[in-house]
Structure 1
């Protein structure tokens, strides 16, 4: 019995002890996106702005290996045009792809070359390999963003909050060299906190420096380019990349629900008719 009590006490200490001291991230901001809810749809203008933020800011470190330029012209995508059934024929998609430099091999000499992209090409990786990526980012490996909208709890709200979550570190918090304090990043800053251990600041340390600032990206549609706007726009774009067929899925789901309701009504009416006949 004594042994069991000792084990229980030790387990409670492990569970409750760190909980009093360890830090925790702030919950993501409550941000409204047009694609929320069963009838929500992507805002093409926001996706276009988000793609520009990704291309001009995020693409310097973060890959999107699962995305090809032709996907930008798919139905529901940022540059969809109903005039072109095949997104490969969309001139905007062609122009965006041509702006990229794609690694390739010269078929005559076998030499490694760079060539303008075509719609079928996937987004280029910013680094030749993971070792180069780590060397350029203080040892941290920037994650691929292809499905990040679905891979993180909170999805686009978390991404948009994280990009805005770089306050001035509170007095008493020592930020390690090469790291940055972010209130929405999951971590434990207890060891770096010199204040009351029962009031450890929320958040953690992240290798990514604040990537956005007001006016960093010039929007073509005249929308004011604030950090908040940039963060929400690129979060929406990343969400679209993570689930590009979301609108089709919602439409199919609605059709299925309507069918099931009608079918249930038909079954109920048939059931009533059968049992009414049996009663006679």
Structure 2
């Protein structure tokens, strides 16, 4: 009995360390997302309380998406009519829609047919289904970009760092064939090759198409796609704050007017 007690006392520190390790291992989970670098915070012009989205940048970003990103990624939640008044005029949006062929029907004879696109049509997907998309991309499914800004931790900062963070892997890091090194992607290896290069797109407004400029523009456009009500929300917020401010002044004046008699009265005690 005494021998067993002394043995437990001698092994108590080791048992305590083992138990603590088990608790830490049980509660702390190592995720693949912990492998990637955290992006820096960039001064996006639309992040302020009073700033709206840069619509010129949104128009350039749509051009980058159309000429580069649309080869693999879709925008299923965006219709051509959504572009009107934001990035394009009505006639420009109609011309963009008419460039695509949409399968419609059935007609009076029960047959499907193709027609030019309309403003009410959604942006076309580059693949007919997810299986075809996986087959064309080595098993990886390119995500839809409609809500990609909200769907990623870090939002615009992460996407900008991802698009501009492609480079050769450092010494000692082996990347499997078909993958590409990106320190900001979880796991450090991404199936998407570097999508944008300097001068890849010729902007119609003459803006130099550098890698960082194209990344900034397409992310601004995708920010609008994820939150089309961004500008209207801030506008309504300013109206509400103005009305509440005036209501607070009226309430303060009414309170002061009603209570001034009670607060300024003098109470005298007669013996």
Shorter-chain-normalised TM-score: which range?
A: 0.7 to 0.9
Q: CA deviation at 1:32?
A: 2.9
Residues 1:96 and 2:96 are matched in the alignment: yes
| Alignment root-mean-square deviation, CA | 2.6
Q: CA deviation at 1:121?
A: 0.4
Cα pair distance change 1:15/1:182, threshold 3 Å: farther
Q: Is the 8 A contact 1:157 1:235 kept in 2?
A: no
* 1:191 match: none
Q: CA deviation at 1:274?
A: 2.4
Max Rg structure: 2
Give the TM-score normalised by the residue count of structure 2: 0.84
Q: CA deviation at 1:167?
A: 1.4
Q: Is the 8 A contact 2:33 2:186 kept in 1?
A: no
Instruction: Point out where structure 1 has 5 or more consecutive residues left out of the alignment.
Output: 82-89, 188-203
Q: CA deviation at 1:12?
A: 2.2
1 CA distance for matches of 2:113 and 2:233? Answer: 40
* 1:68 match: 79
* 2:20 match: 8
Q: CA deviation at 1:141?
A: 0.9
2 CA distance for matches of 1:112 and 1:205? Answer: 43
* Larger mean Cα displacement after TM superposition, 117-126 or 36-45: 36-45
Residues 1:184 and 2:184 are matched in the alignment: yes
Matches within 5 A, 1:1-280: 6-13=18-25, 24-74=35-85, 77-79=86-88, 81=89, 90-105=90-105, 107=107, 110-187=110-187, 204-279=188-263, 280=265
Q: Is the 8 A contact 2:197 2:210 kept in 1?
A: yes
Give the TM-score normalised by the residue count of structure 1: 0.81
Cα pair distance change 1:173/1:5, threshold 3 Å: closer
Q: Deviations over 1:138-176 (max 9, x none)?
A: 111111111112222222222122111111100110101
Q: CA deviation at 1:102?
A: 2.2
Q: Is the 8 A contact 2:107 2:113 kept in 1?
A: no
Size of the aligned set, in residue pairs, is 252
1 CA distance for matches of 2:176 and 2:115? Answer: 41
Q: CA deviation at 1:47?
A: 0.9
